[in-house]
A and B are shown apart, each in its own frame.
Chain A
């Protein structure tokens, strides 16, 4: 158990002309569950593998506990990793798979037996201890991989998309299991995923990566409520936040010629972010042409256009939605972003009444 700190960490692959990740600063407290999230190719795995010691660190400093581990072998870093394809040793039984790391470290027979038994009890692997991995289902293999990490009692767990090979239902239950287990063991964890839902539900804090750089660090809700950039805004939350071109003039924000709210920000073009769940179909409001509707059961997502711009609205009503409808907006829930940098602009609201047009 230890805190983890990444200071100005970067990596340029040999032969690569630009860094795969750069300028990463994260302080991870003891026992914290951190999720690295971002689109494919943004450098999540690279960063995780640098912490594991499977890739060299070309810039900055990585500390686990008080030790700088930049040049240490993976085995000396006191970490355990869970891989996407499990990477179990196919010729060893479940028991031997879990025991192998301890054996190599010269743990006594009694310790090994005790730890393996404890882990298998926690993960309900008891009946499978003498089977080979090939005789297990995907979910069971994943649990063995977890067991292999747990028995070592490392300072930190590293997970690289451990659930992506499982079916949707199993993924949800394993997600909860991982979270419970981590809480119980209190081991600092770094978890990589590209699934924003997984990220939201697991994390104490989220780290959103984009093209090798950190876009935002924060608690899931904080990131959801106050995305720091258009990138984060469109990446976190489903359906994705609608981003529209709007104008601020004469102290009001207007979209396609309709005034939405009084606002004190600087005049000029601005990117307006609207979450589908902050909008609703009402008697009065912005005119929208419905294009298609996604039925989800409990609710439906209505996709449509305002002028030439697309918008998604969540609707829980029963009546069929089609043609021209009106969309009500809560002016307190507007997100504003700079049109060129994509950075968040804090809106300076003047009135707080819902505006009808």
Chain B
């Protein structure tokens, strides 16, 4: 059925869309001007002429104290963080949820609630002890140290647990009669059935990892582990004497930092929606 188009509703939607999109456009447009122009004239909504130069410089210029972190390097580090978090958390929380739902062992419920209560303790609360442990293990300045300590995910475990519990028991029973052991049942049945869940959690966790700031700041002193978030921050920190911060570069990095999460959302959302409409019984 065709719905009558109401101009007023559209107006509200258009205003909303503009409101959300304006800062992004502004950041992009400003990044195509020179730092001096931005400093003297403020932000731009029109394209400038420096785009190629700025983006090229941001990606390849060797910066930092040691002079060997490029934008590409930071992009790669952020990518490793994002992917490491998303994949690691999915794998770990699925296995935890599998154990909690399908295996009968003592204190399973207690364990679950213990995992669940860690949701109440954000990273900041336990950041010092975590740092200490990593430092003792000699894992400072390593990807392992950056990623592994934050992998245990109460959110992921909780969502997968609820999902597994919604799968009818007969599915497990049919699989048992069909000769599927615990390992096969997990790989052949549960993993494919969880695709939708996995896509949703991947989106959340990728962005969570991508946006990490405090933890990498603490864990790494070696500049080759710089992430984009730290890069943006450090560009703006050079306000010494009469030097103007490279606003254009900061904007360019911010725009670049936006692309991968947007791409992840777009790609996985499609999977997510497909999974939602497909899943049945």
Please report which residues of chain A, range 87-117, place their CB below 8 angstroms from some CB of chain B when the two chains form the complex: 87-91, 100-101, 104-105
Query: Are A87 and B171 touching (Cβ within 8 A)?
Result: yes
The answer to whether B244 has its CB under 8 Å from any CB of chain A is no
B184 cross-chain contacts in A, Cβ below 8 A: 104
B188 adjacent to A81 (CB under 8 Å): no
A-side contacts of B278, CB under 8 Å:
134
B110 within 8 A of A: no
Contacts of B126 in A (CB 8 A): none
Contact of B177 with A by CB under 8 A: yes
Residues of A within 8 A of B175 (CB): 89, 100
Min distance, Cβ A92 to any Cβ of chain B, angstroms: 8
Min distance, Cβ B186 to any Cβ of chain A, angstroms = 13
What is the CA–CA distance of A325 and B272 in the complex, to the nearest angstrom? 70
Minimal Cβ-Cβ distance residue in A for B192: A91
Q: A90-B280, A90-B281 are in contact. Are A104 and B178 (CB under 8 A)?
A: yes
Most A-side CB within 10 Å, residue of B173, B178, B192: B178
Shortest beta-carbon distance, A115 to chain B, in Å? Answer: 14
Chain A residues within 8 Å of B179, by CB: 75, 101, 104-105
Q: Other CB < 8 Å A-B pairs besides A87-B170, A90-B280, 10 of them?
A: A74-B176, A81-B173, A84-B170, A85-B281, A87-B173, A89-B174, A100-B175, A100-B178, A101-B177, A101-B178
Q: Which residues in chain A, 68-91, are within 8 Å of chain B measured between CB atoms?
A: 73-75, 79-81, 83-85, 87-91
Q: A83-B170, A90-B193, A104-B184 are in contact. Are A75 and B280 (CB under 8 A)?
A: no
Closest to B280 in A: A134
**Closest CB in chain B relative to A99 CB, distance in Å:** 10
In the complex, which of the residues A54, A105, A133 contacts B173, with contact meaning CB atoms closer than 8 Å? A54
Instruction: Please provide the chain B residues from 144 to 194 with a CB less than 8 Å away from any CB of chain A in the complex.
Output: 168, 170-171, 173-180, 184, 188-189, 192-193
Q: Does A9 contact B (CB under 8 A)?
A: no
Contact between chains at A75 and B176 (CB < 8 Å): yes
Contact B280 A74 (CB under 8 A): no
Nearest CB of A to B142, in Å: 38
A residues less than 8 Å from B180 (CB atoms):
75, 100, 104
| Closest partner residue, chain B, to A134 (CB atom) | B280
| B176–A83 touching, CB < 8 Å | no
B279 contacts chain A at the CB level, 8 A cutoff: yes
- Asked if A146 lies at the interface with its beta carbon under 8 angstroms from chain B, I say no
Across-interface contacts of A148 in B (CB, < 8 A):
174, 178
Tally B residues with Cβ within 8 Å of A. Answer: 20
> CB within 8 Å of A: which of B236-281?
278-281
With both chains docked as a complex, state the minimum distance between the C-beta of A107 and any C-beta of chain B, in angstroms.
11
Does A35 make an interface contact (CB < 8 A)? no
A150 in contact (CB, < 8 A):
no
Nearest opposing residue in chain A for B191, CB measure: A91
Of all chain A residues, the one with the shortest Cβ separation from B174 is: A87
Q: Does A73 lie within 8 Å of B176, measured CB to CB?
A: yes
Encode contact with A along B96-123: 1 for CB under 8 Å, 0 otherwise: 0000000000000000000000000000
B residues apposed to A, CB below 8 Å: 168, 170-171, 173-180, 184, 188-189, 192-193, 278-281
Q: In the assembled complex, which residues on chain B have CB atoms less than 8 Å from the CB atom of A85?
A: 168, 170, 281
> Interface size on A (CB < 8 Å)?
24
B193 / chain A contacts, CB cutoff of 8 Å = 90-91
Q: Which 5 A-B pairs have the closest CB atoms?
A: A87-B170, A101-B178, A104-B179, A75-B179, A87-B174
Residue picked from A52, A53, A81, most chain B C-beta under 10 Å: A81
Nearest Cβ on chain B to A25's Cβ, whole angstroms = 25
CB-CB under 8 A from B178, the residues of chain A are 75, 100-101, 104, 148
Is A89 in contact with B189, judged by CB distance below 8 angstroms?
A: yes
Residues of A within 8 A of B170 (CB): 83-85, 87
Looking at the assembled complex, report how far the CB atom of B1 sits from the nearest CB atom of chain A, in whole angstroms.
25
Q: How far is the CB of B192 from chain A (nearest CB, A)?
A: 4
* B281 adjacent to A52 (CB under 8 Å): no
**In whole angstroms, how far apart are the Cα atoms of A87 and B281 in the complex?**
9
In the assembled complex, the Cα of A89 lies from the Cα of B281 at a distance in Å of: 9
**A-B pairs with beta carbons under 8 Å apart, 30 shown:** A53-B176, A54-B173, A73-B176, A74-B173, A75-B177, A75-B178, A75-B180, A81-B177, A85-B168, A85-B170, A85-B281, A87-B170, A87-B171, A87-B174, A88-B174, A88-B281, A89-B174, A89-B175, A90-B279, A90-B280, A90-B281, A91-B189, A91-B192, A100-B178, A101-B179, A104-B180, A104-B184, A133-B281, A134-B278, A148-B174
In the assembled complex, the CB of B102 is this many whole angstroms from the nearest CB of chain A, namely: 14
Contact mask for chain A residues 187-220; partner B; CB cutoff 8 A; 1 contact, 0 none: 0000000000000000000000000000000000
Assembled-state Cα–Cα distance A134/B189 (Å): 16
A89 and B171 contacting across the interface, CB-CB below 8 Å:
yes
User: Once the chains are docked, how many angstroms separate the CA of A80 from the CA of B178?
Assistant: 8
**Docked-complex contact A83 and B280, CB < 8 angstroms:** no
Contacting residues, chain B, for A104 (C-beta < 8 A): 178-180, 184
Nearest-Cβ distance from residue B258 to partner chain A, whole angstroms: 34
Interface residues of A in 203-247 (CB under 8 A from B): none
Interface residues of A in 36-80 (CB under 8 A from B): 52-54, 73-75, 79-80
| Residues on B with beta carbons closer than 8 Å to the beta carbon of A88 | 174, 281
Bound Cα distance A75, B174 (Å): 10
In the complex, the answer to whether B192 meets A83 with C-beta atoms within 8 Å is no
What 1/0 mask marks residues of chain A from 110 to 142 whose CB sits below 8 Å from any chain B CB?
000000000000000000000001100000000
